[in-house]
Amino acid sequence: MSRIELVNPSKAQGAAAALLQQIDGAFGVVPNMFRAVANSPAALESMWASFGALGHGTLGARLGEQIAVAIADRNDCAYCLAAHTVLGQKAGASAQEMAAAQAGESDDPKTAAALKFAIAVVERRAHVGEADVAALRQAGFDDGEIVEIMAHVALNLFTNYVNVAFKVPVDFPGVKLRAK
């Protein structure tokens, strides 16, 4: 059971109502995470805008979802792991590729470099070194793409923390967190 109210989209008002209507249009339903965040229309607007902006970024949806599952696993966020596994498969990744990303791995060297960096940012609380950034450049990422990877990390930290702290009920097919 959620520790905070999950806003009922049919009873939402003002900015939250309008945003939840957009989210419903995008997903066909309003996932529980958005209902939780809708308690703060400002937070919901920020999160939804970030998803939209990064969805039009240069990294592509598939890599964004692979980063998301790697971070979700590190933060023990069953909600985000489940949601982003589904979204990653919709973006063209196989179930095996999403499972590998959850472990921080990929057969594609460029994807592997992005996952390694994202995990380092999370595990070291952003205290990465020159070699970490250089490895991204060697893999073919430019500075704009490196900043975009960081934006994905930041957005996913927010969503992970919301879901874990407030025990938001998972409304996507479950995916097992890896044993630490």
Percent of the chain topping pLDDT 70: 99
**What is the domain partition of the chain in residue ranges?**
14-55, 61-165
pLDDT tens by residue, 77-90:
999 999 999 999 99
The angle subtended at Cα 174 by Cα 173 and Cα 180, nearest 5°, is 155
Confidence category of residue 16, pLDDT binned at 50, 70, 90: very high
AA letter at 60: G
Question: Is it the case that residue 44 has pLDDT exceeding 90?
Answer: yes
Model pTM score:
0.97
Average pLDDT score over residue span 36-56: 98
Residue given tokens 């809708």 in the structure block = 38
Residues contacting 147, CB < 8 A, separation 6+: none
- 39, 72, 119, 38 alpha-carbon torsion, rounded to 10°: -10
The pLDDT, as a whole number, for residue 60 is 97
Mean pLDDT of the chain: 97
- Topology of domain 61-165 in CATH is AhpD-like (1.20.1290)
What is the model's pLDDT at position 179? Answer: 75
Find how far residue 22's CA is from the centre of its chain: 19
